[in-house]
Chains A and B, each alone.
Chain A
Amino acid sequence: KQEVTQIPAALSVPEGENLVLNCSFTDSAIYNLQWFRQDPGKGLTSLLLIQSSQREQTSGRLNASLDKSSGRSTLYIAASQPGDSATYLCAAPQGGSEKLVFGKGTKLTVNP
């Protein structure tokens, strides 16, 4: 059974800082991993999808890495801005199934 853990649960940083969010998963037989952003009271916005054959995926100031062997993924945010404040969630599939298992998220606050 896939279990996804995100540490820390909350993070507060000053504007302009580079930061890393962590995601770990127990079942390394995944075909991809996806990072999402959720603003309060809203749905999830897809940030990055990284396939199992990739090691990194980049979109603007965001960079996601995936290490299947160690069961870890990281989301790197460069030059953080107050608008980056949100909860960030990662999701990994359970085995080869349709089921996506989510972590509980990291709540990020970027202070101006």
Chain B
Amino acid sequence: SQTIHQWPATLVQPVGSPLSLECTVEGTSNPNLYWYRQAAGRGLQLLFYSVGIGQISSEVPQNLSASRPQDRQFILSSKKLLLSDSGFYLCAWRVGRGTEAFFGQGTRLTVV
């Protein structure tokens, strides 16, 4: 069966520090991968999605970036965190456009 792993679960980082969040999917090949951010009162916001290795689409211009170095690995990064980057980051996958989406357990990021 397919599973999605996301880590770390919680993270407290100072302003200006770098960030790396990792997401991996098991049990499927060539998934579509997504990074969402959930902020209080704002709902889920799509940040990046990828339909293949090295293919990244950005939805929101900001100081975050994403990479997909392997088929089932999706990484969210920042060189310098801002206070406004605080939130709950969720990774998701699905096989194709019309299929069911599955989410990881999320990373709670607090920038201090």
Which A residues are closer than 8 A to B by beta carbons?
31-32, 34, 36, 41-46, 49, 51, 89, 91, 93, 96, 98-105
Contact = CB atoms under 8 A, between A and B. Distances in A.
Given A31-B98, A98-B51, A89 B44 contact: yes
Interface residues on B, range: 20 to 34
Given A31-B97, A31-B98, A51-B98, A100 B46 contact: yes
Contact of B102 (A32, A46, A96): A46
B43 A103 contact: yes
Secondary structure dominating the interface of B: strand
Given A42-B105, A100-B34, 6 more contacts: A32-B98, A41-B106, A42-B106, A44-B92, A46-B100, A101-B46
A98 B49 contact: yes
A93 B103 CA distance: 16
Contacts of B101: 34, 46, 91, 100
5 contacts: A89-B43, A91-B44, A91-B101, A98-B34, A105-B43
B40 to A, nearest CB: 10
A77 to B, nearest CB: 19
A102 B99 CA distance: 16
A43 B43 contact: no
Contacts of B108: 41
A49 B34 CA distance: 18
A42 B101 CA distance: 16
B46 A43 contact: no
Given A98-B32, A98-B49, A98-B57, A43 B98 contact: no
Given A98-B57, A102-B44, A43 B49 contact: no
Interface string B69-112: 00000000000000000000010100001111111111010000
Given A31-B98, A104-B43, A99 B49 contact: yes
A7 to B, nearest CB: 14
A98 B97 contact: yes
Interface in B34-67: 34, 41-44, 46, 49, 51, 57, 59
